[in-house]
Amino acid sequence: MQSLSCIACGVEIGFHPATIAMVEFAPDGVVLDGEPWTTCANRGWECNWLLPIASEAARCFSCRLTRNRPASDDTIALEKLAEASRSKRRLLIQLAQLGLPVDPYHQREGGLAFDLLSSYSGDGSVTTGHANGVITIDLVETLDDYRERLRVQLGEPYRTMLGHFRHEVGHYYQSILVEPSSRIGACRELFGDERASYTEALERHYRFGAPEGWEASFISEYATMHPWEDFAETFAHYLHITDTLTTAGTGGMILDASRLDGEIDHDVVPLASYTDRGIEDVLADWRSLSTFFNAVNHAMGKDDLYPFRLVEPAVHKLAFVHEVVQETERSVARPILV
């Protein structure tokens, strides 16, 4: 869903957010379900989303969520903005498919916003993080050498731009779906008390690192830093897992047990959606699929696609996130990204 044209025939295409589908369109737009749609004003920066002409907006829903971006004359930073925005659009599509609320900052106080800035440009020092609905991303993370250097320096097995978006949006959803609700007690039992000093936790983590034996209770080293980070890391992994599964399911992928030499005892058929299934179904399919995808990566001389172990405490935390998503999907109108 990232192309501007069909790779087979070259025809111009765009993403129709109302149906979450790619469509062909003419230079003067396209009529879908009786409504005329046009391209986003940022198509020159590789945005392929469409928007209804009746909205009288120049930019699509995704681009309007970007509250701050590099200056218009900073062409190098804007190229990185285009790359980061692809990850942002993928994030938003998944959030909509899961039925999670995506309320823009310009429609309500504390709504979702993105500051996509570059510490290599005139924006000065930029710290990736979340505060009151605003997700800030440093665009230098799109640079492979910079990101890989940090990954190695911090001892991380995985570091991507999409991973940053998924982690930070986890903070956002904890703040609006968990902390103000009756779920907060159960959340504290699993993740710890988020009221503990974040500043002290941050200093302790970067001075001493993760505690010995962290692998038995957490999904990553960074998750050990503070209960907020444990939730955000778990939420990000939930999005990693479900998006990979549903992508495979939508594509019709099947793992045939008869051809895998006893590695699995039944065929694995990933689903296009797991919102009505338990976490046991999600993780049963994931264990088989991630093992297969890790082997595919090895065939290309690369490291594991998913280099993490899901220990029992991490599974309980993933189950909590899954329940929050399911309850929200049942109680809140599914967002339409227009």
Q: The whole model's pTM is what?
A: 0.95
pLDDT tens-digit map of 139-161: 999 988 989 999 998 889 999 99
**52 in the same domain as 140:** no
**53 in the same domain as 157:** no
**21 in the same domain as 80:** no
**288 in the same domain as 190:** yes
**91 in the same domain as 25:** no
| Neighbour count for residue 21 (Cβ, 10 Å) | 10
**148 in the same domain as 23:** no
Of the pLDDT bands very low, low, confident and very high (cuts 50, 70, 90), residue 1 is: low
pLDDT value, residue 28: 77
Q: Which residues pair with 30 in a beta bridge?
A: 37
State the residue range of the domain holding 44.
13-60
**150 in the same domain as 196:** yes
- The residue type of 222 is Y
Using the predicted structure, report yes or no on whether residue 73 has a pLDDT greater than 80: yes
**296 in the same domain as 327:** yes
Strands (E) in 119-203, as ranges, are: 129-131, 134-138
If you search the block for the tokens 């093992």, which residue do you land on?
291
| Neighbour count for residue 178 (Cβ, 10 Å) | 21
Angle at 12 between CA 8 and CA 18, to 5 degrees: 110
pLDDT tens-digit map of 260-270: 877 788 899 99
| Neighbour count for residue 92 (Cβ, 10 Å) | 23
If you search the block for the tokens 């599964």, which residue do you land on?
245
| 209 close to 297: Cβ distance less than 8 angstroms | no
From the list 330, 233, 231, the residue with the least C-alpha distance to 276 is 330
Of the pLDDT bands very low, low, confident and very high (cuts 50, 70, 90), residue 249 is: very high
Distance CA 138, CA 136 (A): 7
Look at the chain and report how many structural domains it folds into: 2
| Structure-block tokens of residue 187 | 């959340």
| 287 close to 263: Cβ distance less than 8 angstroms | no
